[in-house]
Amino acid sequence: MNEKLAISIEKLAKHFGDLKAVDGITLSVQEGEVFALLGPNGAGKTTTISMLTGLLKPTRGSANVAGFDVEREPLKVRQQIGVVFQQPSVDDLLSGRENLDMHALLYNVPAKGRRERIDDMISLVGLTDRQHAKVKEYSGGMRKRLEIARGILHHPKVLFLDEPTTGLDPQTRQHIWEYIKKMSRLEGTTVVFTTHYLEEAEQFAERVAIIDRGKIIATGKPHELVNELGGDTVLLKAKKSKEVAAKIRKMPFAASVSEKNDVVSAVIASSHKNLPIMLRALSGIETIEIRPATLNEVFIKYTGKGIREDSAEGGFWERMMNPNNR
């Protein structure tokens, strides 16, 4: 086993009856890395995290976290990890501070320096003023910040964050990422997070695994994955968008072609040269837009659909916290 691996996963699978929620994934994460599992809702991200944190038993395969096997030595794994769940798991009836006190006891944070450590974490996430209020009275963003403070309180070697910013406003989202980055830098923590926000993966992850229907379809550094596409994204608005898309698919320089709501999206190699050629072959184009390719096009390349298309999340958190989000 490579000593520098924080996580190594071998053919890990979880089946719920006939549903293969996670369908044999193999993956490794380096120590100190900030790693994203990117995929649409229902892709198997949360199930994967649940297995890595010992909340679900794998159907097949194995996983090693911080040097310990998740099935054989679950307690040792748990001692080394912090988990921030997608749905809030802080205790409503306790105050923010009491939640952290309880966590410190559960995770053997040494009594010496415990109080100072809790003070530090509370101030890190900006909850010092509200630390003695019951969590019931917290806003969604405050709860999430408290969860993050709790997740890192015991100096975990590996921090798992399941959709850490889903349902939060952009400002809070930005703050939370600042905390996570700061903490990862200060303590050398490996961070594994799941997200269905492309920008979040592109912006914050050093490496990303794209997951769809329980399978990993691509792994790499975000900019490398995008560069591999070898072109820019071109968006064309056209009445007969289906016909346009069909024509573009046949063009040798086009990849990751998708079509939705009268808009065709495609990655065009050497667009300065090929775009005029393409436009000459098409008719009925109303508007045209060129922008750098993103992980969305990477996703389309492998799955034939955009990552947002089936992203209608039915999660508790989102319904509770942000009913008008999407």
Partner 1 sequence: MMNGMGAGARTRITGKVIFMGYFDGVYAIWVREIIVFMREKERVISAVVTPLMWIFAVGGGLGASVQIQGMSYQMFMFPGIASMAILFGSIFYGMYIIWDRKLDFLKEVLVAPVPRSAVFLGKMLGGMSDALMQVTVLLLIGVAFGFVAGLPALLLAIAFSVIIAACMVSLGLIIGANMKSPEGFNLVMSFVMWPMFMLSGALFPVENLPSYIDIIVKINPLTYGVDLMRLALLGTSKFGMLYDIGVLVFVTIVFAYIGSKSFDRMQI
Question: According to DSSP H, which parts of 157-282 are helical?
Answer: 170-187, 198-204, 222-229, 241-249, 271-281
- The letter for the amino acid at 13 is A
Cα 231 to its chain centre, rounded Å, is 25
In terms of CB distance, is 145 or 154 closer to partner 1? 154
Of 44 and 54, which CB lies nearer to partner 1 in the complex structure? 54
Nearer CB in complex with partner 1: 53/258: 53
Q: How far apart are CB 138 and partner 1 at their closest, in Å?
A: 14
Are the beta carbons of 297 and 256 closer than 8 angstroms? yes
Question: How many distinct helices (H) and strands (E) make up the chain?
Answer: 12, 14
Residue 310: closest CA among 212, 182, 183, 201: 212
In the complex, the smallest distance separating the C-beta of residue 235 from partner 1, rounded to whole angstroms, is 40
Residue carrying the six token digits 């389309």: 300
What is the amino acid identity at position 247? K
Residue 109 is a binding residue for partner 1 (CB under 8 A): yes
Residue 150 vs 196, nearer CB to partner 1: 150
- Compare residues 151 and 222 and give the one whose CB is closer to partner 1: 151
Give the number of residues in contact with partner 1, rule: CB under 8 A: 43
User: Site residues for partner 1, window 10-49 (CB under 8 A)?
Assistant: none
Query: Minimum Å distance from CB 102 to partner 1?
Result: 5
Near partner 1 in 112-141, by CB under 8 A:
113, 116-117, 120, 134
Nearer to partner 1, 55 or 269 (CB): 55
Q: Is 183 or 278 the residue whose CB approaches partner 1 more closely?
A: 183
**How far from 157 is each of 32, 79, 192, CA to CA, in Å?**
8, 9, 11
Q: How far is CA 121 from CA 83, 100, 115, 147, in A?
A: 15, 9, 10, 11
Least Å from the CB of residue 155 to partner 1: 5
> Which member of 17, 110, 170, 323 binds partner 1 (CB under 8 A)?
110
Specify the stretch interacting with partner 1 by CB under 8 A; choose among 3-11, 184-192, 238-246, 273-281. 184-192
Instruction: Tell me how far apart the 2 most distant CA atoms of the chain are, in Å.
Output: 73
Q: How far apart are CB 147 and partner 1 at their closest, in Å? A: 9
Nearer to partner 1, 29 or 307 (CB): 29
Check binding of 143 to partner 1 (CB under 8 A). no
What's the sign of the alpha-carbon dihedral 114, 117, 123, 126? Answer: negative
Q: Which of residues 263-282 bind partner 1 (CB under 8 A)?
A: none
Which residues are within 8 A (CB) of 162 and not within 5 positions of it... i.e. 6 or more apart?
45, 46, 49, 83, 84, 85, 86, 193, 194
Taking the complex as a whole, the smallest distance from the CB of residue 94 to partner 1 amounts, in Å, to 6
User: What residues from 46 to 105 belong to the interface with partner 1 (CB under 8 A)?
Assistant: 50, 53-57, 75-76, 78-79, 81, 83, 85, 87-94, 98, 101-103, 105
What Cα–Cα distance (Å) separates residue 142 from each residue in 20, 40, 135? Answer: 35, 26, 9
The DSSP H or E segment spanning 75 is helix 74-80
Residue 139 vs 283, nearer CB to partner 1: 139
Tokens standing for residue 55: 């909340």
Using CA atoms, how far apart are residues 138 and 121, in angstroms rounded to an integer? 17
CB of 42 to partner 1, least distance (A): 17
Q: Which residues here bind partner 1, judged by CB under 8 A?
A: 50, 53-57, 75-76, 78-79, 81, 83, 85, 87-94, 98, 101-103, 105-110, 113, 116-117, 120, 134, 150, 154-155, 157, 186-188
